[in-house]
Amino acid sequence: MPRLGVRRPLLEVLELARTRTSADAALVSEVHDGRETVREVDQDGAFPAIVPGLSAPLRDTICERLLTGRIGPLVEDVAADADLRSLPIVRDLGVGAYLGVPLTPADARTYVLCCLAREARRDLGADEVHFVRGLAGRVRATLDAAGPAPFV
């Protein structure tokens, strides 16, 4: 669970991201020590396994490909990419589309704000990426305002 004072603003941003992109889930994850850990999530129940605290080796995540530049911020059809469709999270959870934006607040930790859909989403484009990038700024400001204390 996030530090006191951070959870509500994060949930508001995630709800906005999810509804604006018509995604099934929006989440903030933290990348640390070779792992990606979900810190907060807003969803409609399509991904019941995605809960705060869910963690996976970074090498097994879509976000790793984003952070290393192997993919851009938007993958409209995850199944069309041989590397992505072989990832455990894609196979096990059924991710069809991905939109992600990395951010680094003042505490120098790495986070990713992302939206997931169960189905491929060819209707997503530059407008949604721009919108989520703007929301990432709000997430960064929320984390900065809360100070450097780690998530608990």
CATH label of the domain that carries residue 15 = 3.30.450.40
HEC assignment per residue over 33-79: CCEEEEEEEEECCCCCCCCCCCEEEHHHCHHHHHHCCCCCCEECCHH
Q: How many domains does the chain have?
A: 1
Q: Is 2 part of a structural domain of the chain? A: no
Q: Is 93 part of a structural domain of the chain? A: yes
Please say if the pLDDT value at position 60 is more than 90. yes
User: Which domain, by its residues, includes 64?
Assistant: 7-146
Range of weakest confidence among 24-28, 89-93, 116-120: 89-93
- Interval 32-42: pLDDT, tens: 999 999 999 99
Across the chain, what does the average pLDDT equal? Answer: 91
Q: Is 86 part of a structural domain of the chain? A: yes
